[in-house]
Amino acid sequence: MSGHSKWANIKHKKAKMDAQKGKLYTKLSKMIIVAVREGGPDPEANPRLRDVIEKAKEANMPNENIIRAIKRGSGELGGENLEEALYEGYGPGGAAILLEVMTDNRNRTAAELRHIFDKHGGNLGEAGCVAWMFEKKGLLIVEKNEGINAEEIIMLAIEAGADDVEEQEDSIEIITSPEQFESVKNALRENNVKLSSAEITYLPKTTLTLSGKDSEMMEKLLEALDDHDDVQNVYTNYESAN
């Protein structure tokens, strides 16, 4: 997500993740497998698969890896019995954390995540303990440059069905319902608007600002969770005071 984005810290990502290609490719493969199982192996007929393949290509994932994951998802090759799950918990200072997970063993994953939370001053909670603090939304970000007509993009997004559009200093952030995400994205692309980010995400209804030791501990917890092989995405309502 854009470094200039209002939501830059909400979906926690690390720069070092770019260097950990193996771990990133594993996560992308899982996403492809689940997308194929849910909607079939044809990207044209399966928007979720199409979006994951785009992410895989942006990450320079080899084409053979993408094809192999599609075959595993369609049953041509053997693969894990993956299922999606949401895990919820609290970090230092009471910050809410929501995890999107893909796992072949919920009990193992829960035990490992609980250990990570405990080690870094947080705690894994029960289902529903923090999910109510977030809204599932489509988030599209357009980076501003000299060729960008912000007013035209804002009008285009609204006409295509966006819920909200916010103009930041260096970007335009477009929020949609999950149902309108594809239509808004397609409308922008058909008008040659380059998107720096486009994804279904969880946005917090309110944010919690932490500083000092709480902020430092929270950063370490988010990093450790992000590093776990089964964790696909980490969302939080935490913002740093720094």
Tell the residue number behind the tokens 């977030």, with chain if given: 134
Q: How deeply is 117 buried, as exposed, middle or buried, from its count of CB atoms within 10 A (0-12, 13-18, 19+)?
A: buried
pLDDT given at position 117 = 97
**Residue 147 lies inside a defined structural domain of this protein:** yes
**Residue 183 lies inside a defined structural domain of this protein:** yes
**Residue 10 lies inside a defined structural domain of this protein:** no
- Tallying the residues shown for the chain, one arrives at 242
pLDDT given at position 72 = 87
pLDDT given at position 1 = 33
**Residue 186 lies inside a defined structural domain of this protein:** yes
Are 184 and 140 in contact, with CB atoms under 8 Å apart?
Answer: yes
**Residue 108 lies inside a defined structural domain of this protein:** no
**What is the residue range of 139's domain?**
133-204
**Residue 187 lies inside a defined structural domain of this protein:** yes
**What Å distances lie between residue 33 and 53, 73, 125, 198, CA to CA?**
11, 4, 28, 20
pLDDT given at position 3 = 35
pLDDT given at position 218 = 94
pLDDT given at position 27 = 86
Q: What are the contacts of 58-67 at 24+ separation with CB within 8 A? A: 59/21, 59/24, 59/25, 59/28, 60/21, 61/24, 61/25, 61/28, 65/25, 65/29, 66/32
Q: Which of 202, 234, 208 is nearest to 221 (CA)?
A: 234
Residue ranges for the chain with pLDDT beneath 50:
1-4, 14-19
- CATH code for the domain in which residue 170 is found: 3.30.70.980
Q: What are the contacts of 35-42 at 24+ separation with CB within 8 A? A: 35/73, 36/69, 36/70, 36/72, 36/73, 36/74, 37/73, 37/74, 37/82, 40/74, 41/70, 41/73, 41/74
Mean pLDDT of all residues belonging to the chain: 87
pLDDT given at position 104 = 87
pLDDT given at position 8 = 53
**Residue 149 lies inside a defined structural domain of this protein:** yes
Structural domain total, the chain: 1
**Residue 37 lies inside a defined structural domain of this protein:** no
